[in-house]
């Protein structure tokens, strides 16, 4: 029986159309960009006006030997090629229904943080920002 509740294990992550296996977890935040429009000598805003929409998130991932990290997998640009960096696409797909939960266009990696514990697995966290997105309701 298929449950209606999505679980992390039911989601596949695709980057540039390819299954991205090193992902341990992913979180994202969507912002409508609304901001208050105020008037002179009035404490309460007159309305909440739409502003620039944004999507930001982070991907926790494992690092494998000889994979080159995000640069080696074509997700982020190397130091010498940062001015030539290209956008990537990100898709979250339900394994059971094969429906797209989230599709983000024109993403870039903003930051990378790597953890190298002496007696454990090397893991990283990469923050990203995208320009446009859609989900199964779009």
pTM for the structure as a whole: 0.86
* Residue 110: band (very low, low, confident or very high) from pLDDT cuts 50, 70, 90: very high
CB 70 within 8 A of CB 109: yes
pLDDT tens per residue, range 29-83 = 999 889 999 888 888 898 999 999 999 999 999 999 998 889 988 889 888 888 9
Domains assigned to the chain = 8-135 (2.30.110.20)
Distance of alpha carbon 131 from alpha carbon 104, whole angstroms: 7
pLDDT at residue 1 greater than cutoff 80: no
Distance of alpha carbon 49 from alpha carbon 100, whole angstroms: 30
Token code pair at residue 16: 């540039």
């Amino acid at each position: 029986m298929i449950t209606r509740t999505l679980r992390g294990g039911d989601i596949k992550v695709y980057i540039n159309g390819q299954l991205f296996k090193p992902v341990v977890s992913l979180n994202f935040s969507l912002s409508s960009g609304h901001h208050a429009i105020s008037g002179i000598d009035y404490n309460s805003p007159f309305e909440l006006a739409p502003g620039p929409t944004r999507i930001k998130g982070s991907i926790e991932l494992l690092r494998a030997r000889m994979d080159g990290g995000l640069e080696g997998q074509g997700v982020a640009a190397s130091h010498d090629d940062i001015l030539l960096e290209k956008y990537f696409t990100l898709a979250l797909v339900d394994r059971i229904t094969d429906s797209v939960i989230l599709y983000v266009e024109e993403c870039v990696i903003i930051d990378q943080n790597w953890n190298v514990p002496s007696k454990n697995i090397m893991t990283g966290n990469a923050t990203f920002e995208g320009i446009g997105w859609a989900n199964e309701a779009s």
